[in-house]
Structure 1
Amino acid sequence: MDLLFALEDSGAGMLVSSTQWGYAIVLSLHAVGMAIMVGISLMLIFRVLGFGQKVPLGSLADYWKVALLGFLVNIASGTMLFLGSASELFFNWAFRIKIALVLIGVVLTWRLVSYCYKPAARSDTVYVDASDRRLAVAALLVWLAALIAGRLIGYLN
């Protein structure tokens, strides 16, 4: 507990928990990072599921670098948000579940992205098999569950 209280008393922890605009700005950055990461992931997921079939699957791989930028924003802002309430969040099950689901979502989406880097995915007519669709459905469900768990953090103490 001493470590958690020390994290809350750090400069970043105090910025988030004790300043007028700190929490709002960091939370806004977290929302923007999430929109970028999850939004690009969902574009890829829905393309694999059959939407937008005129878009070559391989062309979506280039957006992964932008998604990773959003993920880095989320890591930085999420860390600051954690520092602002470390003694509460550390014991919050919704928070722990959210972190696990986000990591799983990144791994599943990366598996879809790695498929997009194959030369066949750059053509206009690429075949997506049933295992790719199952992977996309799993990634979609994990991202939705992560978003729900994130919303539940404030309600489950």
Structure 2
Amino acid sequence: MYSLINWVIETLNATALSSFIMGNAWFFPMLEMLHFFGLCLLFGSLLIVDLRVIGLAPRVPLSRVEIFVRVTLVGFAINIATGTLFVIGDSDRYLVNIAFWLKMGVIVLAGLNTAWFVRRIRPQIDAGLEGAALSADARVVAGASLVFWTAVIILGRMIPYVEE
């Protein structure tokens, strides 16, 4: 496995895109700002939806906060794009970093949690169910979402400080 990672690192480092990302003083910091902006969109909007599903602000209909799901998707798309460019540009740092791989694992868990939300909880919201009428797993899914995305943020912040 180690040799595969080395091969990927060498291959990415040899690309013109990697040279561009790391060779321009302004580009990597711009990516970091965009990544942070995407994270704000993602987590901020997700916080509104998840806290409402958990039961906060019960007078606000769930159908009204669901618009924030689209904002979450925009933030996630920004973070996928910028995160991919981070890895291409600085693969030496990311692909050998345990915090990076843990972050990717938690993102997979968050994705599975989201799939459960879309399959099991969203139909309840679409049917007009609110508060206590939602299934018990709705609050569990929303709470897990908050835990997963908080862990993603923490692990992302650890990446610069964790070495091989």
Structure 1 residues 39, 113: closer, same or farther in 2, change over 3 A? farther
Provide the residue aligned with 1:32 in structure 2. Answer: 37
Whole-angstrom CA distance in 2 between matches of 1:4 and 1:78: 15
Report the counterpart of residue 99 of structure 1 in structure 2. Answer: 104
1:15-94 to structure 2, matched below 5 A, reads 15-94=20-99
* Alpha-carbon distance, 1:143 to partner: 1.0
**Is 1:147–2:148 an aligned residue pair?**
no
- The superposition leaves residues 7-53 of structure 1 with CA deviations (integer Å, 9 ceiling, x where unpaired) of 12323322332211011101111111111112221111111111121
Identity among equivalent pairs (%): 27
Deviates more, 1:134-143 or 1:109-118: 109-118
CA–CA separation in structure 2 for the residues paired with 1:110 and 1:69: 17
Equivalent-residue separation in structure 1 for 2:139 and 2:130 (angstroms):
18
Aligned length: 156
Q: What 5-or-longer segments of structure 2 have no aligned partner?
A: 1-5
- Please, what is the CA RMSD of the aligned residues? 2.1
Q: What residue is the counterpart of 2:122 in the other structure?
A: 116
Structure 1 gap segments, 5+ residues each: none
CA distance in 2 between partners of 1:57 and 1:109 (Å) = 16
